[in-house]
Amino acid sequence: MRRLCVTLFATGLCALAVSPIAALAGASSRNLPPPDPTAKNLTPYMISLRAFDACLIVQSRLQGTTREAVHTPCSCYAKLAVKNLSKEELDAFRATGYFNDSARQKALEALDSCKLPRPPLG
């Protein structure tokens, strides 16, 4: 879970999910955990599920609300963030389990588009 959150927050949202790890849009690439070997064969859909789970955790904590309350905007975020990734960014995610710098920028833009607050830079 911790790895998922980093991946997700590295992807656009971390502090979060199952074990805060996977997708923090605002995370710095300098403070990321070691690569996640479970990400190697993930499809774009599976990556979006990780981003969605991370979003639910991070945004509910960030906004002080329930996961149900952020379900729709997090669904928007996860779909948009992954849809906008290039093949190279998807491959980089599979190699590490988190978003690289260019993918993180796209994840931040997806947060903005889906009207979710950006997490504090860590």
DSSP count for the chain of H helices, then E strands:
5, 0
Query: For position 7, what pLDDT does the model report?
Result: 41
pLDDT above 90 coverage of the chain, percent: 69
Spacing of C-alpha 32 from chain mean position? 13
Categorize the per-residue pLDDT at 103 as very low, low, confident or very high, splitting at 50, 70 and 90: very high
> How far is the C-alpha of 72 from the C-alpha of 62, rounded, in Å?
16
Q: Model-level pTM greater than 0.85?
A: no
- What is the residue-wise DSSP string for 68-81? GGGHHHHHHHHHHH
Name the residue with higher pLDDT: 19 or 5.
5
Spacing of C-alpha 21 from chain mean position? 9
pLDDT tens string 23-61: 445 455 566 788 999 999 999 999 999 999 999 999 999
pLDDT tens string 61-79: 999 999 999 999 999 999 9
